Structure 1
Protein backbone atom coordinates (compact mmCIF):
# COMPACT_ATOMS: atom_id res chain seq x y z
CA UNK A 1 0.00 0.00 0.00
CA UNK A 2 1.41 3.36 -0.97
CA UNK A 3 1.66 6.33 1.32
CA UNK A 4 -1.06 8.21 -0.58
CA UNK A 5 -3.48 5.29 -0.34
CA UNK A 6 -2.88 4.87 3.36
CA UNK A 7 -3.37 8.61 3.96
CA UNK A 8 -6.65 8.54 2.05
CA UNK A 9 -7.81 5.50 4.01
CA UNK A 10 -7.03 7.22 7.30
CA UNK A 11 -8.63 10.51 6.24
CA UNK A 12 -11.89 8.86 5.22
CA UNK A 13 -14.58 10.07 7.56
CA UNK A 14 -18.29 9.57 7.79
CA UNK A 15 -20.09 12.49 6.14
CA UNK A 16 -23.72 13.02 7.01
CA UNK A 17 -26.26 14.42 4.60
CA UNK A 18 -27.54 17.93 5.30
CA UNK A 19 -31.07 16.55 5.68
CA UNK A 20 -32.78 13.12 5.58
CA UNK A 21 -32.58 11.11 2.35
CA UNK A 22 -36.34 11.33 1.71
CA UNK A 23 -36.01 15.10 1.29
CA UNK A 24 -33.83 14.60 -1.79
CA UNK A 25 -36.63 12.56 -3.35
CA UNK A 26 -39.19 15.20 -2.41
CA UNK A 27 -37.06 17.93 -3.99
CA UNK A 28 -36.78 15.89 -7.20
CA UNK A 29 -40.54 15.28 -7.17
CA UNK A 30 -41.31 18.99 -6.74
CA UNK A 31 -38.96 19.87 -9.60
CA UNK A 32 -40.61 17.20 -11.77
CA UNK A 33 -44.08 18.55 -11.00
CA UNK A 34 -42.95 22.12 -11.78
CA UNK A 35 -41.53 21.03 -15.14
CA UNK A 36 -44.71 19.08 -15.86
CA UNK A 37 -46.77 22.20 -15.14
CA UNK A 38 -44.67 24.20 -17.58
CA UNK A 39 -45.08 21.53 -20.22
CA UNK A 40 -48.82 21.30 -19.57
CA UNK A 41 -49.15 25.05 -20.08
CA UNK A 42 -48.07 24.62 -23.71
CA UNK A 43 -50.83 22.14 -24.52
CA UNK A 44 -52.74 22.69 -27.75
CA UNK A 45 -50.71 25.79 -28.67
CA UNK A 46 -50.54 24.83 -32.35
CA UNK A 47 -54.32 24.70 -32.62
CA UNK A 48 -54.87 28.20 -31.27
CA UNK A 49 -54.26 29.63 -34.73
CA UNK A 50 -55.97 27.23 -37.16
CA UNK A 51 -55.37 29.36 -40.27
CA UNK A 52 -51.63 29.55 -39.60
CA UNK A 53 -51.31 25.84 -38.84
CA UNK A 54 -53.30 24.90 -41.97
CA UNK A 55 -51.16 27.18 -44.14
CA UNK A 56 -47.99 25.73 -42.64
CA UNK A 57 -49.17 22.16 -43.16
CA UNK A 58 -50.09 22.88 -46.78
CA UNK A 59 -46.79 24.57 -47.63
CA UNK A 60 -44.43 22.21 -45.75
CA UNK A 61 -45.54 18.82 -46.99
CA UNK A 62 -43.60 18.37 -50.24
CA UNK A 63 -43.90 14.56 -50.32
CA UNK A 64 -47.61 14.35 -49.54
CA UNK A 65 -47.10 12.32 -46.38
CA UNK A 66 -49.81 12.42 -43.80
CA UNK A 67 -47.42 11.62 -40.94
CA UNK A 68 -45.48 14.74 -39.95
CA UNK A 69 -43.27 12.93 -37.42
CA UNK A 70 -40.82 11.53 -39.95
CA UNK A 71 -41.40 8.01 -38.63
CA UNK A 72 -42.52 6.76 -42.03
CA UNK A 73 -39.24 7.50 -43.79
Structure 2
Protein backbone atom coordinates (compact mmCIF):
# COMPACT_ATOMS: atom_id res chain seq x y z
CA UNK A 1 0.00 0.00 0.00
CA UNK A 2 1.30 3.46 -0.81
CA UNK A 3 1.70 6.24 1.69
CA UNK A 4 -1.10 8.18 0.00
CA UNK A 5 -3.52 5.26 0.24
CA UNK A 6 -2.68 4.78 3.91
CA UNK A 7 -3.30 8.47 4.58
CA UNK A 8 -6.66 8.31 2.78
CA UNK A 9 -7.75 5.25 4.75
CA UNK A 10 -6.65 6.84 8.03
CA UNK A 11 -8.61 10.01 7.27
CA UNK A 12 -11.75 8.05 6.39
CA UNK A 13 -11.88 6.23 9.71
CA UNK A 14 -13.07 9.36 11.41
CA UNK A 15 -11.68 8.41 14.78
CA UNK A 16 -11.12 11.48 16.84
CA UNK A 17 -9.00 11.23 19.96
CA UNK A 18 -9.87 13.71 22.67
CA UNK A 19 -7.12 14.33 25.17
CA UNK A 20 -8.71 16.19 28.01
CA UNK A 21 -6.59 18.19 30.42
CA UNK A 22 -6.53 17.22 34.08
CA UNK A 23 -7.37 20.85 34.98
CA UNK A 24 -9.11 23.59 33.03
CA UNK A 25 -6.57 25.64 31.04
CA UNK A 26 -6.69 28.76 33.30
CA UNK A 27 -5.63 26.61 36.29
CA UNK A 28 -2.31 25.91 34.58
CA UNK A 29 -1.77 29.65 34.25
CA UNK A 30 -2.62 30.16 37.91
CA UNK A 31 -0.13 27.45 38.93
CA UNK A 32 2.64 29.05 36.88
CA UNK A 33 1.80 32.49 38.27
CA UNK A 34 1.94 31.16 41.84
CA UNK A 35 5.28 29.49 41.13
CA UNK A 36 6.61 32.75 39.70
CA UNK A 37 5.49 34.67 42.80
CA UNK A 38 7.18 32.12 45.10
CA UNK A 39 10.43 32.28 43.13
CA UNK A 40 10.28 36.09 43.09
CA UNK A 41 9.91 36.00 46.89
CA UNK A 42 12.97 33.77 47.21
CA UNK A 43 14.95 36.10 44.97
CA UNK A 44 13.74 39.15 46.91
CA UNK A 45 14.82 37.58 50.20
CA UNK A 46 18.44 37.63 49.04
CA UNK A 47 18.50 41.36 48.36
CA UNK A 48 21.50 43.26 49.71
CA UNK A 49 23.24 40.10 50.95
CA UNK A 50 26.63 41.26 49.66
CA UNK A 51 26.50 44.40 51.79
CA UNK A 52 25.70 42.47 54.97
CA UNK A 53 29.26 41.19 55.08
CA UNK A 54 31.16 44.27 53.91
CA UNK A 55 33.41 44.24 57.00
CA UNK A 56 34.51 40.67 56.32
CA UNK A 57 35.24 41.47 52.68
CA UNK A 58 37.34 44.49 53.64
CA UNK A 59 39.25 42.48 56.28
CA UNK A 60 39.94 39.72 53.74
CA UNK A 61 41.16 42.29 51.22
CA UNK A 62 43.52 43.83 53.81
CA UNK A 63 44.92 40.43 54.77
CA UNK A 64 45.56 39.33 51.21
CA UNK A 65 46.78 42.65 49.84
CA UNK A 66 43.87 43.14 47.47
CA UNK A 67 41.99 46.30 46.68
CA UNK A 68 38.94 46.96 48.81
CA UNK A 69 35.67 45.81 47.27
CA UNK A 70 33.69 48.44 45.41
CA UNK A 71 30.26 49.45 46.68
Q: How much does 1:10 deviate?
A: 5.8
CA RMSD of aligned residues (A): 3.2
TM-score normalised to structure 1 length: 0.59
- Indicate the structure whose relative CO is greater, using CA pairs within 8 Å and at least 6 residues apart: 2
The structure number with the bigger radius of gyration is: 2
Give the gaps of 5 or more residues in structure 2.
none
Aligned residues: 61
* Shift in alpha-carbon separation, 1:45–1:3, aligned structure 2, 3 A: same
Provide the C-alpha distance between the structure 2 equivalents of 1:2 and 1:53, rounded to a whole number of angstroms.
75
